[in-house]
Amino acid sequence: MTTRRRLLATSLGLPLGLPLGLALAAAGPGRSAGAQEAAPPVPRRDFTVQGYTTRGGATLPAIRTGYQTAGRLNAAGDNAVLITHFFSGNGQAFGRNDPDGPLGWWDAVIGPGRPIDTDRYFVVAADSLVNLNAPDRYTVTTGPASVNPSTGRPWGMSFPVVSIRDFVEVQKRLLEHLGVRRLALVAGPSMGSLQVIEWAAAYPEMVERAMPVIGTGEMDAWMLGWLDLWAAPIRTDPNWRGGDYYTQGRDPPIRGLTEALKLVTLHSRDRGWAAAQFGRRPAEGQDPARRIQDRYAIETWLEGAAAARARLSDANSFLYLVRANQLFLSEYGSTAEALARSRARWLVVPSRGDRVFPLEYSRELVAGLRAAGQAVQEAELSGGLGHLEGVANIAQAGEAIRGFLAA
């Protein structure tokens, strides 16, 4: 398996080798695996904003974001679809970066004749600020691993705090650059769903439809605590050095980042998946009942998947992403106030086995939207992948998405 395929597998928290098969199996009506293999790579482009001021008031001399597009923008500039990505993802939502690379994480629903039909819509997907995949050559982002032009050294923890709203502001500038005036749809899973809701609240006149997948309308204390637990192992790694590990000769905090990604990976899966895949089976050749250092199969799998992912990620960016998520809708007095600003029609897509944003979060979001007089539809996902159903198995909601866009 290529490094890129390993990256996709571990970014989704899936067993190595599985995601490509899942994507091909979910190719959609009239699109065979062979047609997928023959499709040319989707070009990745680079957009720069000069002189950006964060929502917290800090000034950055320039920020860069990578993006990709499919389809054509119409003369009115109103047939655009924005796809926003999850915590460990980037803007490769569809297509391939290179001929033998993995398919994008929502490729099953984006393309000619698919629910998000690129014969009809101009689809844009971009890399976020402080992207976890900063070391990846296919990801373009500005964050703590980027060079501060005033010092010639990486920003590290001197990089300013950014929020989900900052992600939206950068996306808006990109869309304006591309000539987009109105969005027929903003859609994304997990952290992407937070961006969807921020978009609908911040720019209600621009958003016709909003589709938050495996998300929530509220960053409550329980979720704030979980995010802190995700981040904690990085800060306890001696190699983190308060974020100053970029100097040549210093080892990055791979151990702490690995432990953080183990938490994220297991949290993103359902208990039924763990039981079916591993049960109480010991790791091969090991006996936890006799030797304290021996481990169970799920422990060694989590270690291997997270360690592979950690080598392709940036620990400081992980911490900045955690804070950006914690600041979701922080500029409004309440979730109700934010939702009341929207003029969009909504399709809320939860996963029944979600452990990150349990089903009750989506139900509360739907109730809040209805209380605000919003038009809301629901399409519930099921299966053993828990939170990750909204990434790997979004094709389950394909017909609901098609109908939502047709209405």
**Active site residue ranges:** 190, 354, 387
CA-CA distance, 141 to 330, in Å (whole number)?
Answer: 23
In Å, what is the CA distance from 105 to each residue of 60, 137, 292, 301?
30, 17, 39, 22
Cβ(45)–Cβ(67) below 8 Å: yes
CA-CA distance, 250 to 243, in Å (whole number)?
Answer: 11
Q: Indicate the pairing of strand 209-213 with strand 345-348.
A: parallel
Helix (H) or strand (E) holding 66: strand 59-70
Residue in the block written with tokens 């609908």? 200
Residue 295 DSSP SS3:
coil
Distance of CA 375 to the CA centre of its chain: 25
Residue 288 DSSP SS3:
coil
AA identity, residue 38: A
AA identity, residue 270: D
Half-sphere exposure at residue 249, Cβ-oriented, CA atoms within 13 angstroms: 0
CA angle, 149 then 174 then 177, to 5° = 105
Burial of 161 (0-12, 13-18, 19+ CB in 10 A): middle
Burial of 151 (0-12, 13-18, 19+ CB in 10 A): exposed
CA dihedral 311, 312, 318, 324 (to 10 degrees): 180
Cβ(328)–Cβ(357) below 8 Å: no
Q: Closest Cα partner for 110 from 187, 55, 224?
A: 187
Cβ(296)–Cβ(283) below 8 Å: yes
